[in-house]
Amino acid sequence: MRAFVVARWLRRFRSRAQLERHQRRRVRRHLRLLRRRSPWFAAAPARLDELPRMDKAVMMANFDAMNTVGVTLDDAVALAADAERRRDFGGTLDGVSVGLSSGTSGHRGVFVVSAAERDAWAGTVLALTLPRGRILDHRIALFLRAGNELYDTVRSRAVEFRYFDVHGDLGERIRSLAAYEPTILVAPPSVLLAIAEAGLELRPQRVYAVAEVLERADARRLEAAFGQPFLHQLYQCTEGFLARTCDRGVLHLNEELLLFEREAVEGRRFVPIVTDFSRVAQPIVRYRLNDLLVERAEPCDCGSVLTALERIEGREDDALLLGGVRVFADLVARAMIHAEGFSQWRVVQTGAERVEVLLDDPAGEAGVRERLEALWRRQGAPAPELRFGAYAPDPTRKLRRVERAWKEDADASA
Ligand SMILES: [Zn+2]
């Protein structure tokens, strides 16, 4: 409740300088606390800018010494694996819940969250995402792939929730959604598209896209289907609640909750390195995410001092890599939406010189070939062999429209 009140009414920054003072103060206080409670931080440099960058591999290698709740990696992995097998995510280790983050080639991360953090997190997410006005009158429909302790915590509060599992008969779930008449609908874009195609007369007040990259073309389609001026987004992962949409429809970094350092990539693209100054059970300090974000060229009209994003582009390692040239996912998506004759698609790099294009209608093949070949030329990348196949939606899996399934080996990138 305290987190809810603070987030909803008190946290307003008049200037960037004021926000940055707040961040510095919170970071200093947070690191002092971590040095008292975490053996790893006790032995590490005291200043943020002297601490090593962290990523999933470093965090897993130092898991036992880094966390402040005395949980071992072995115990956490065992609990998480068991929860996944039984599809029951309510289990805890002495009140500490465990989550797995997805990762490529077996590199999955384990995250622990204390009960107090879970409550504060739920309060903050509710405060920052519910429409202004009467907050208790909402019926919130959630379509999620995995159980999520965050949403389970929220559900136990005063707000009415219904959870729809995307496993099993999705058509049946969508029909019961119509009967529920949600005021707020939360789902990954691929599931929202399936709901939109079912042609229900749904008019939720808000629609939130979560857990997948929201392509612009899909956003336009969904806005029309659900009668929304714009789609809201929650950029929320196991590493934290990183960004949210303002009332002008623009994504802003949650800089009142986290400090974002940047690794510049190209143009306004950057990889965020985050420090969450409220996570204590498992510290997230200078943690490098595998995500590409693009800063907006202009500040947002809403007047917020929080950094405005143009978009979340997706996983850094999903950019195609052709003859050493990176072709960013967003460029591929733009080429695809300019081609015609199909509506659903995926582009997957499956080899050093091979790209598979999956379309829901083969009528689009010639147009796609032309657009993609023009893209390779513009980017100065050698043209890969294109293979076409049939697109098959799978709501139980996270949709990545652009994916690099082939990884160059470590020597080649050095
Ligand atoms: Zn804004």
Q: What is the pLDDT along the chain (414 residues), one digit of tens a residue?
A: 667 666 665 567 889 999 999 999 999 999 999 999 999 999 999 999 999 999 888 999 999 999 999 999 999 988 888 877 776 766 788 888 887 776 544 567 888 888 888 777 777 777 777 777 666 678 888 887 665 545 555 555 557 778 887 777 888 889 899 999 999 898 999 999 999 998 888 889 999 998 888 988 899 999 999 999 999 998 887 788 899 999 899 999 999 989 999 999 988 999 999 999 989 999 999 999 989 999 999 999 999 999 999 999 888 889 999 999 999 998 999 899 889 999 899 999 999 999 999 999 999 999 999 999 999 999 999 999 999 999 988 877 888 999 999 987 644 443
pLDDT of residue 412: 47
**Helix, strand, coil fractions of the chain, as percent rounded to 5:** 40, 25, 35
Q: What top-level class would CATH report for the domain 319-413?
A: alpha beta
Q: Outline which parts of the chain fall under CATH 3.30.300.30.
A: 319-413
Instruction: Indicate the burial class of 149 (C-beta count within 10 angstroms; 0-12, 13-18, 19 or more).
Output: buried
**Going along 267-410, which residue ranges are E strands?**
269-276, 287-288, 291-295, 308-315, 320-322, 325-327, 345-351, 354-359, 385-390, 402-404
Q: Beta-strand (E) ranges in 166-221?
A: 184-187, 206-210
From residue 26, give the alpha-carbon distance in Å to each of 30, 285, 312. Answer: 6, 12, 26
Q: From the CA of 244, how far away is ligand 1's center (Å)?
A: 9
Q: Cα of 248 to ligand 1 centre, how many Å?
A: 5
Q: Which residues, 6+ apart, have CB-to-CB distance to 25 below 8 Å?
A: none
The CA 299 to ligand 1 mean position distance, Å, reads: 8
Residue 292 and residue 318 in contact, taking contact as beta carbons nearer than 8 Å: no
Quick one: how far is CA 41 from the chain centroid? 27
The answer to whether residues 343 and 362 touch, using CB atoms and an 8 Å cutoff, is no
pLDDT for res 154: 56
Say what the pLDDT of residue 48 is. Answer: 96
CB 89 within 8 A of CB 151: no
For residue 187, the CA-to-ligand 1 centroid distance in Å is: 22
Residues paired with residue 403 on neighbouring β-strands, in sequence order: 348
Q: Which of 188, 114, 118, 129 is nearest to 156 (CA)?
A: 118
Ligand 1 centroid to Cα of residue 125, in Å, is 17
Q: For residue 283, list its beta bridge partners.
A: none
- Report CA(243)–ligand 1 centroid distance (Å): 11
301 alpha carbon – ligand 1 mean position (Å): 6
Residue 57 DSSP SS3: helix
Give how far Cα 223 sits from Cα of 114, 167, 236, Å.
37, 25, 21
Q: How far is the CA of 191 from the centre of ligand 1 (A)?
A: 26
Measure 234 CA to ligand 1 centroid, in angstroms: 14
Residue ranges, comma separated, of all CATH 3.40.50.12780 domains in the chain are 1-316
Compute the distance from residue 232 Cα to the ligand 1 centre, in Å. 12
Q: What is the DSSP letter of 54?
A: B
- Domain 1-316 falls under CATH 3.40.50.1370: no
Residue 68 CB partners (closer than 8 Å, separation 6+): 34, 37, 38, 280, 281, 282, 283
The Å distance, Cα 308 to ligand 1 centre, comes to 7
Distance of CA 320 from the midpoint of ligand 1 (Å): 31
CA of 380 from ligand 1 middle (Å) equals 35
Give CA separation, 98 vs 73, 135, 154, 281, in Å.
Answer: 10, 29, 17, 11
Nearest to 97 by CA among 59, 153, 30: 153
